[in-house]
Amino acid sequence: MADTAISEKKKTIAFGKKERKLLTDPINDDNPITVQVLGICSALAVTTGMKNAAVMAVAVIFVCTFSNVITSLFRKSIPKQVRMIVQLVIIATLVTVVELTLKAYAFESYKQLSVFIGLIITNCIIMGRLEAFAMANRPYESALDGLGNGIGYGLILLIVAFFREFFGKGEIFGAKIIGATSEYAINTTESTLFGWYQGNNLMVLFPSAMFVIAVLIWAHRAWNTKLVDVS
Amino acid sequence: MGELVNIFIKSAFIENLALSYFLGMCSYLAVSKTVKTAFGLGLAVIFVLGITMPINWIINSYLLSENGIFGVDLTFLRFILFIAVIASMVQLVEMVVEKYSPALYNSLGIFLPLITVNCAILGGSLFMVSKEYNFSESVAFGLGGGFGWFLAIVAIAAIREKIKYSNVPPALRGLGMAFLLTGLMGMAFMGLMGIDPAAF
């Protein structure tokens, strides 16, 4: 009896095929941004630079994982009628934790992200996972699901931010890669790679995020043809 | 009064919530397949923004601020209270509309719960705080923002209805095309952004 109980317990926290699927599905076949189309708002606004995108990605991974775990723990005691408000309060609490942490340890990023930290609360991907997964599954699986979705989301965020920062400012993580190093060095091409390159300001502005994501969706669906929209 | 009209126009056109800040994109993309449903959701957003903005203003300046009734700086509770107000207001509005105007409920009904997680609502409230509007200004900002969002979603729905008959590459069909269109509309609205806000 005791042995079976132990082996069962081991089984529940094992990392098998099913668990791996929970983690990797949201990265490709069920990607939050390019397939589920959830959580677009913040994806567009924070991707002007890779640093901000990375901070946002970490924040969303944190909130998504822990809100999934907490909701999953309480899933049997949350009344159906008020579950939206309960879920939102759980998310809002976690987001407040993120906000205060950023304010204390990364004030620069906190200033630049401004209202978009608060908007993690209404990031549909978190709410969507709570509704679709955490309300019906155990905490361990929910944690994996939250982690997977957070990573799938963060990955797209970083890809979009890479294109926008690289072509917009010629920088990666704030370090100059292509283009002249300063206003005065435009003519000294030997010091930098592609010294003639002028940053494309359109890439820094909002509409370019739309175009980059559209091209990403196009590429993703052309490669993974089962995702093509038939309607 | 002129000041309020200016805030209304500015929030509706120059700082359009949907096309300049890209807020509320999830429902914007999901519900813009036909003009009729887009119209319903747009109206519901104007409605809810117009109601929650003043309520959140009152909460922020009388409960949470240092000069409020508690006399303590409680702004760290802002997110939780704002989202609770929005969620409960949406629920309340749904019940009231259902009771007194079944016709309106039938056209708005299914969209109301969606609005709770529409970033434009919470984003509007957070912008209102960071711009330090007073009470009447926040009402004008809420209505203007809602009107701008309404215009944007109806416009894209009309374009998407037409584009259904065009020959779009299969992988770009639907979602990808909606993104491209929104980007182009955003570029058009950037032309309005060039207007100097100080002129208003």
Q: B 12-71 residues with CB below 8 A of A?
A: 20-26, 29-30
Share of residues in chain A with pLDDT > 70 (%):
81
Q: How far apart are CA B167 and CA A34, in angstroms?
A: 22
Q: In sequence order, what are the beta bridge partners of A193? A: A178
Q: Is B73 helix (H, G, I), strand (E, B) or coil?
A: coil
Residue A112 sits at the chain B interface (C-beta within 8 Å): no
pLDDT surpassing 80 at residue B4? yes
Read off the pLDDT band of A12 (50, 70, 90): low
Crossing angle between the packed helical segments A50-74 and A83-105, to the nearest 10 degrees: 140
Average pLDDT score over residue span B138-151: 91
DSSP state of A47: T
Which ipTM score applies to this complex?
0.77
- pLDDT tens digits, A183-224: 555 555 455 566 666 777 777 777 888 888 888 888 888 887
CB A36 within 8 A of CB A128: yes
CB B99 within 8 A of CB B12: no
CB B17 within 8 A of CB B124: yes
> A27 to chain B, minimum CA–CA distance in Å?
18
**pLDDT the model gives residue A9:** 46
Average pLDDT score over residue span A55-74: 90
Q: How far apart are CA A71 and CA A63, in angstroms?
A: 12
**Phi, psi of A171, deg, nearest 5:** -125, 160
Instruction: Work out the mean pLDDT of chain A and round it to a whole number.
Output: 78
Q: Of the candidates B26, B174, B176, which has its C-beta nearest A124's C-beta?
A: B26
**Phi, psi of B11, deg, nearest 5:** -75, -25
- pLDDT tens digits, A132-182: 888 888 888 888 888 888 888 888 888 888 888 888 877 777 777 676 655
Contact A45 B179 (CB under 8 A): no
Amino acid at A209: A
CB B11 within 8 A of CB B17: yes
**pLDDT the model gives residue B154:** 92
Average pLDDT score over residue span A21-29: 75
**pLDDT the model gives residue A6:** 46
Q: How far apart are CA B173 and CA B167, in angstroms?
A: 9
Which is more confident, A162 or A43? A162
Read off the pLDDT band of A5 (50, 70, 90): very low
Average pLDDT score over residue span A82-95: 85
Ordered DSSP codes for B24-79: SHHHHHHS-SSHHHHHHHHHHHHHHHHHHHHHHHHIIIIIISTTSSS-S--GGGHH
Nearest CA in chain A to B127: A115
Residue A122 sits at the chain B interface (C-beta within 8 Å): yes
User: pTM here?
Assistant: 0.79
Q: How far apart are CA A109 and CA A102, in angstroms?
A: 7
Q: How far apart are CA B38 and CA B155, in angstroms?
A: 9
